[in-house]
Amino acid sequence: MTLAASLLSGDRLSLARVLTQVENDTPVGRQILDELFPHAGKAHRIGITGAPGTGKSSLVNQLARHYRHTVDGSNPYRVAIVAVDPTSPFTGGAILGDRVRMRDLAGDPGVFIRSMASRGSLGGLAATTAAVVQVFDAAGFDVILIETVGAGQAEVDIARLAHTTLVVETPGLGDDIQAIKAGILEIADVLVINKADQPGAEAAERALRNMLEMNHPANGTGFWLPPVLGTVATEGRGVQELAAVIARHQEFLRQTGGWHVRERFLLQTEMETILHAELVSRWRAAFPEDAYRKILSDLVERRISPYQAVERLLS
């Protein structure tokens, strides 16, 4: 049996092996991705993003428990967790350390947890995350929770992978943080105020709701206006309500055709990324090395501008 077939039959060890091949972008990994591709496209991909310290990991933990136990006792969802840390710290990454909190889930055969840190380019990380998510999808996981830390372009790229994106905030964020909030609001389908038992939680919820009602492009159009929910993840409070909102968003996407639009956009983007890289590498292989070096050196000496250099390269 091939590795892909063995994964499709539900073998956990094969899944782990495939993930390693795919993460390292090996030829075997690419071939397996091709084999798995027709089997993917069914899972509900849920993104969870927010600054460090907002309690994202606890919330992901609780959502996973909920999907394992509450949805349907006789036939619970299979849940994959992909924890992505694009901040590429010297020391390994806080988000990876957080995984120890998930020990209670780790023994459950219906849960698979994979942590990924940035190695090299952030663009590469988004591509690798997409591939890993596809593997879980083909392997038959019903829900894939994609957790990312921070508020930058990497999160936006990774959020594009999700059908439903939760942005997690905490109460008491000063006005200072307004700019970051505004940036991340654009990717949110659901806003979660975690640690809602802390002072200022209701005010934060109200402020976010006002901001959305004033500024969100969807407001008044009948489209999805991101709901604002309070949770206390450490105690599991609000998690059931959150899961209900997530299910409602999934239903909304299916009814409006948004689900298909997101799938289409994602696949087209993935194809174009590969196409562009391939076009560049073919052109580069065909272009004489010494001529390239000469043009580059003229550029660096400021004899020609970047646009003029490209004109010469393509003439």
Range 255-274, binding its own copies (CB under 8 A) = 263-264, 267-268, 270-271, 274
3-state class percentages of the chain: helix first, strand second, coil last, to nearest 5: 55, 15, 30
In order, the DSSP letters of 171-228 are TT--GGGHHHHHHHHTT-SEEEE-STTSTTHHHHHHHHHHHHHHH-TTTTTTSPPPPE
Phi, psi of 168 (to 5 degrees): -105, 125
Stretch of 38-46, 106-114, 161-169, 225-233 lying at the interface with its own copies (CB under 8 A) = 38-46
Considering the rule CB under 8 A, would residue 294 count as an interface residue with its own copies? no
Considering the rule CB under 8 A, would residue 296 count as an interface residue with its own copies? yes
Which residues from 207-236 bind its own copies, rule CB under 8 A?
211, 215-216
Q: Which is nearer to its own copies, 30 or 248 (CB)?
A: 30
How far apart, in whole angstroms, are the C-alpha atoms of residue 195 and residue 237? 10
Contact 95, 85 (CB under 8 A): yes
Which residues from 78-97 bind its own copies, rule CB under 8 A?
85-91, 93-95
Structure-block tokens of residue 252: 């909304």
Q: How far is the CB of 109 from its own copies (least distance, A)?
A: 27
Residues 6 or more apart whose CB falls under 8 angstroms from that of 92 comprise 117
Q: How far is the CB of 311 from its own copies (least distance, A)?
A: 9
Stretch of 102-110, 158-166, 199-207, 306-314 lying at the interface with its own copies (CB under 8 A) = 306-314
How far apart, in whole angstroms, are the C-alpha atoms of residue 310 and residue 296? 10
Q: How far is the CB of 163 from its own copies (least distance, A)?
A: 15
Place of tokens 């390693």: 20
Q: How far is the CB of 200 from its own copies (least distance, A)?
A: 16
Considering the rule CB under 8 A, would residue 28 count as an interface residue with its own copies? no
Contact 64, 145 (CB under 8 A): yes
Binding residue for its own copies, selected from 206, 282, 293, 294, defined by CB under 8 A: 282
Which residues from 131-160 bind its own copies, rule CB under 8 A?
149-156
Binding residue for its own copies, selected from 16, 203, 247, 275, defined by CB under 8 A: 275
Q: How far is the CB of 124 from its own copies (least distance, A)?
A: 12
